[in-house]
Amino acid sequence: SSVNINININNATSAQSRSLSMMPRRGFPQYTIFGTDSALSIRSTMPQFKRAGNDGIAVDRRGKLVLEFVPRNNTGAGMAWTSKTIFSLTAEELGLLINQLPGNSVEMAHPIWDNNAGGNAGAPEVATQTSGDAVEKVLTIEPGEGATLTFKVDYMKGGVGGQSPPGVEEFPTTPVEITIQAGEFEVLKSIFQTSIPYILGWNTTMDIASAAAMSKGVSGGGQMY
C-alpha cells in the first residue's frame, strides 16, 4: 500500500542520514617502513584554505609530506616514537626526489630556528644549501647495492653531524638512518607522486572549479572567465 511505501522510503532516508552522520570526518594517511635499528614513517600535513570573494575558496598555505625518522628503543624492543626526527618536504622537493631517485644521491638541508632566539621563532622550514655555522637539519639519500636506498637525517654544523638542535640540551638522537628495499621505494615513489596535487590543494580547488563550471554551463551562464 501507499502507506507502507511511504514508511519504507522514510526508513531508508533515515538510515542513509544516520550512515552519513557516522562517516569519519578525519583521515590519517601513514606508511611506515621498519628497519633493524629504526623506522621511517611518512604522513602528510594538508593545505590550509581561505575564502576567496563571496563564494570562492583558495589555498592559504600549502601542505607538506613529512618524513619521520624513529630510532629503536635502547632496550631493543619497539621504537622510540617520542624521539623521532621529522623532515618536511615541499611539493618541489618531492618533485626533485622523484626526478633523481633511485639513480642519484640527494642531499637537502633545512635551517633550524631557535625558539628562544626570537625573530625567526616558528618560521617554517625551507630548503637551503648546507653552509655556514648554523645548525641545520640535513636529509641524505644514497643508492646502494641491490637497488636499495639509505635515508639518513642528521643535525649538522659546518659539515659535522651529530649536533644538538638549538634549545635542546640533551644528547642528540641523530643521525638516524634506514635502508629500504626496491619494492619499498616504489611504494614511496607512488606516495610522493599522488601526494603532490593534494598538498598543493590542486585536487580540491580543481574539483570545486569544475563543479562550478559545470553548474554554470548547465544553467546557461556561459563561460566563467
* The three three-digit cell numbers of residue 43, written as one number: 604522513
Residue 121: what pLDDT? 35
Residue 130: what pLDDT? 40
Given pLDDT bands bounded at 50, 70 and 90, which one contains residue 19?
low
pLDDT at residue 38 is higher than 90: yes
Between residues 115 and 212, the one the model is more confident about = 212
Between residues 118 and 53, the one the model is more confident about = 53
pTM for this model (two decimals): 0.78
* Lowest-confidence pick of 66-75, 92-101, 168-177: 168-177
The whole-angstrom separation of Cα 42 and Cα 148 is 18
What angle do helix axes 182-199 and 91-100 make, rounded to 10 degrees? 150
The whole-angstrom separation of Cα 103 and Cα 147 is 9
Residue 165: what pLDDT? 76
DSSP the chain: -HHHHHHHHHHHHHHHHHHHHTS-S----EEEEE-SSEEEEEEEEPPEEEEETTTEEEEEE--EEEEEEEEBPTTSSSB-GGG-EEEEE-HHHHHHHHHHTTTS-EEEEEE---TTS-SSTTPPP--B-S-SSS-EEEEEEEE-GGG-EEEEEEEEBTTB-SPPPTT--SPP---EEEEE-HHHHHHHHHHHHHHHHHHTTHHHHHHHHHHHHHHHHHTT-----
- Asked whether 136 and 112 are in contact (CB, 8 A), the reply is yes
Query: In the predicted model, what is the mean pLDDT of residues 134-155?
Result: 94
Residue with cell 606516495: 191
* Lowest-confidence pick of 25-29, 38-42, 114-118, 198-202: 114-118
Query: In the predicted model, what is the mean pLDDT of residues 58-78?
Result: 94
Q: Report the share of the chain in percent with pLDDT over 90.
A: 59
Could you give the C-alpha distances from 171 to 78, 153, 161, 209, in angstroms and in order?
20, 16, 13, 51
